[in-house]
Chains A and B, each alone.
Chain A
Amino acid sequence: MLSGITAMYEISVALKYLLPKRKQLSVTLIALMSVGVISLVVWLTLIFLSVTSGMEKNWLKKLTDLNAPLKITPTQAYYSSYYYNIDSICFSSNYQTKTIREKAQSEFTDPYDPEFDEEPPQHWNAKDLNPDLSMKDPVKIVYGILDELKIKKTIKSFQDFEMSGGLLKLQLLRSSSPCFTIRGLETVNFLSQVSYITSFPENNPFLHESILPPSKRDIENLLYLSTKNLEGTQADVAPKIKLSNPNEFSQKLNKTLAHAGIETLNSTSSLWRIPIELMTEKQQFNAFGYFQDGKLVQVLISEKNIKGKKTSYDIVEGKIKKINENIIFETGRQHHILQNSTPVVTPDPVELTTDFLDLDSSQTSSVSDMRIHGEIKIQNQKIQGLIPWNNLSISTLSPTTTFTHKPTSSPLWAYSVSGSHDNSQMHLPDYNHNDYPILLPKNFQDSGVLLGDKGYISYNSSTVSSMQEMRLSVHVAGFYDPGIMSIGNKCIIVPNEVTKAINSTTSSHFFDKIATNGIQIWLSDLKDVDSLKQSLESDLVKNQINEYWQISSYKDYDFAKDLLQQFQSDKYLFTLMAIIIITVACCNIISLLVLLVNDKKKEIGILLSMGASSKSIALIFSFCGVIMGTIGCIFGCVMAHLTLRNIDSIVSILSKIQGHQAFNPNFYGTHLPNELSPEALFFVAIATPILALSAGLIPAIKACLLKPASILRSE
Chain B
Amino acid sequence: MNPEIVISTKHLYKSFQSSEKIDILNDINFEARKGETVAITGKSGSGKSTLLSILGTLESATSGDVTICGKMSSQSNTSELRNHHIGFIFQSFHLLEDYSVLENVLMPAKIARKSTSKGSESHNRALLLLEQVGLSHRTHSSAKTLSGGEKQRACIARALCNSPDIILADEPTGNLDRTNAEMVSRILFENAKNTNSTLILVTHDQELSQHCDKSFHLKDGFLHLVK
Given A602-B94, A708-B58, A713-B49, decide whether A614 and B79 contact each other with a Cβ distance below 8 A. Answer: yes
Q: Is the CB of B58 within 8 A of A3?
A: no
Residue of A nearest to B95 (CB): A606
Stretch at the interface among A4-12, A130-138, A280-288, A682-690: A4-12
The answer to whether A671 has its CB under 8 Å from any CB of chain B is no
Residue in B83, B99, B116 whose beta carbon sits within 8 Å of that of A610 in the complex: B83
Instruction: Quote the shortest CB–CB distance from A554 to chain B (angstroms).
Output: 57
> B residues within 8 A CB of A616?
79, 111
Residues on B with C-beta less than 8 A from A713 are: 49, 53
Choose among A605, A606, A612, A715 the residue that contacts B79 (Cβ–Cβ < 8 A): A612
- B96/A606 in contact, CB under 8 A: yes
CA–CA, A605 and B96, complex, Å = 10
Chain B residues within an 8 Å CB radius of A3:
102-103, 106, 116-118, 123
Total residue contacts A-B, CB cutoff 8 A: 87
Does B15 have its Cβ within 8 Å of any Cβ on chain A? Answer: no
Is A607 touching B117 in the complex (CB atoms < 8 A)? no
Contact across chains for B98 and A16 when beta carbons are under 8 A apart: yes
B80 cross-chain contacts in A, Cβ below 8 A:
611, 613
* Count of interface residues, chain B, beta-carbon cutoff 8 Å: 38
A609 touches B59 (CB 8 A): no
CB of B58 within 8 A of CB of A9, answer: no
Bound CA span A636–B106, Å: 37
Q: Give the CA-CA distance A563 to B103 in the complex, in Å.
A: 62
Closest to B83 in A: A611
Question: Is B107 at the interface (CB under 8 A from chain A)?
Answer: yes
Interchain CB contact under 8 A, B96 and A603:
yes
> Shortest distance in angstroms between B184's beta carbon and chain A's nearest beta carbon?
18
> Contacts of A708 on B, CB cut-off 8 Å?
58-59
Asked if B13 is at the interface (CB within 8 A of a chain A CB), the reply is no
Is A608 touching B58 in the complex (CB atoms < 8 A)?
yes
Contact B94 A605 (CB under 8 A): yes
Which of B33-41, B84-92, B204-212 forms contacts with chain A? Answer: B84-92
User: Is A194 in the interface zone, CB < 8 Å from B?
Assistant: no
With a cutoff of 8 Å between Cβ atoms, the chain B residues found around residue A603 in the complex are: 96, 98
Contact between chains at B88 and A609 (CB < 8 Å): yes
A609 to chain B: which residues have CB within 8 Å? 56, 58, 82, 88, 90, 94
Nearest-neighbour CB distance to chain A for B154, whole angstroms, equals: 12
List residues 107-123 of chain B with CB under 8 A from any CB of chain A: 107-108, 110-118, 123
With A3-B103, A611-B84 as known contacts, state yes or no: A709 contacts B111, CB within 8 Å.
Answer: no
A608 and B86 CA atoms in complex are apart in Å by: 12
Q: Is B125 an interface residue, CB under 8 A from the partner? A: no
A610 touches B49 (CB 8 A): no
Smallest distance from the beta carbon of B111 to chain A beta carbons, Å? 5
A211-254 CB contacts (< 8 Å) to partner B: none
Which A residues are CB-close (under 8 A) to B151? none
Q: Once the chains are docked, how many angstroms separate the CA of A713 from the CA of B94?
A: 11
Give per-residue flags for A592-603: 1 if the beta carbon is below 8 A from chain B beta carbons, else 0. Answer: 000000000011
Measured in the bound complex, the distance between the Cα atoms of B80 and A612 in whole Å is 8
Within 8 A of B (CB), among A566-616: 602-603, 605-614, 616
CB contacts under 8 Å to B, within A1-43, are 2-7, 9, 12, 16
What is the CA–CA distance of A618 and B107 in the complex, to the nearest angstrom? 17
A285 to chain B, nearest CB (A): 78
Given A3-B103, A3-B106, A16-B98: A612 touches B114 (CB 8 Å cut-off) = no
- Does any Cβ of A come within 8 Å of B153's Cβ? no
Residues on B with C-beta less than 8 A from A611 are 79-84, 86, 108, 111-112, 162
Closest CB in chain B relative to A24 CB, distance in Å: 10
Identify A606's interface contact among B94, B103, B112, CB under 8 A.
B94
Is A707 part of the binding interface, using a Cβ–Cβ cutoff of 8 Å? yes
What residues on A are CB-neighbors of B90 within 8 Å?
609, 712
Q: Is the CB of B59 within 8 A of A709?
A: yes
Nearest residue, chain B, Cβ from A1:
B103
The answer to whether A712 and B107 have CB atoms under 8 Å apart is no
> Contact at B92–A610, with CB atoms within 8 Å?
no
| Chain B nearest CB, measured from A7 CB (Å) | 6
Q: Are A607 and B107 CB-contacts (below 8 A) given A612-B79, A614-B79, A713-B49? A: yes
A623 CB to closest chain B CB, in angstroms?
15
11 intermolecular pairs with C-beta atoms under 8 Å apart: A2-B106, A3-B102, A9-B110, A605-B94, A606-B96, A609-B56, A611-B83, A613-B79, A613-B80, A707-B59, A709-B58
Q: Kindly list the 9 A-B residue pairs having the minimum CB-CB distance in the complex, ordered from nearest.
A: A611-B83, A9-B110, A709-B59, A613-B79, A611-B82, A709-B58, A709-B53, A610-B108, A6-B115
Residues of A within 8 A of B (CB): 2-7, 9, 12, 16, 602-603, 605-614, 616, 707-710, 712-713, 715
Knowing that A610-B82, A610-B88, A610-B107 touch, tell me 20 more A-B residue pairs with CB under 8 angstroms.
Answer: A3-B106, A3-B117, A3-B123, A9-B111, A12-B110, A16-B99, A609-B82, A609-B90, A609-B94, A610-B108, A610-B158, A611-B82, A613-B79, A616-B79, A616-B111, A707-B59, A712-B58, A712-B90, A713-B53, A715-B94
